[in-house]
Amino acid sequence: MTPVSAIGTAFARHIAVGLIATASNYATLMGLLWFLAKPYIFWSAIAANLTGILVAFAGNYFWVHRSGRTFSTSLTLFVAAYTTVALASSAALAGFYRYVLANVTIGFLVITAITAVITYFINKKLVFAVRPQVQ
């Protein structure tokens, strides 16, 4: 497999995992907003992002990226990186809802599109980076 097709395959798998994680994230968000109401949008988004993070980690670790890192190292880096992304995207969603357009779904989709690209590179360059083998 050429390097270009390997990147394309990894990115396609990342998108597939991302779609599943996004669906679980969105379902959690909508369920919590229905249950808790809109004043709790930031906290609902945090809980929903954590659900998406767990699904994304499992898919990325076992299916998308192959690395020399241990499970615990990958999990620690993934949680640290994605927690930062989750906090930023939760704040962005709350701001989008309050100041730009009072539509959670549109804000969710815009922010998800932006974070899909960001998280691919975070995974590739930080979390699941292949370490050079020392001989």
pTM beyond cutoff 0.85? no
d(CA 132, CA 129): 9
The tens digit of pLDDT for each residue in 1-56 reads 555 565 678 778 888 998 999 899 889 988 988 887 766 778 888 888 889 888 98
pLDDT of residue 134 exceeding 60, the answer is no
pLDDT of residue 2: 53
> Tokens 């974070």 label which residue?
115
Q: What is the pLDDT of residue 28?
A: 93
Q: Which residue has the tokens 């798998």?
A: 13
More confident residue, 133 or 21: 21
* Distance set, CA 74 to CA 3, 7, 106, 112, 117 (Å): 23, 20, 32, 22, 19
CA 44/CA 14 separation, integer angstroms: 25
Helix, strand or coil for residue 110? helix
How far does Cα 82 stand from its chain's mean position? 6
Cβ-in-10-Å burial (0-12, 13-18, 19+) of 60 comes to buried
**What's the pLDDT tens digit per position in 57-96?**
888 888 877 666 788 888 888 888 888 888 888 888 888 8
Confidence of residue 132 (pLDDT cuts 50, 70, 90): low
Residue 83, classified by CB atoms within 10 Å of its CB into exposed (0-12), middle (13-18) or buried (19+), is middle
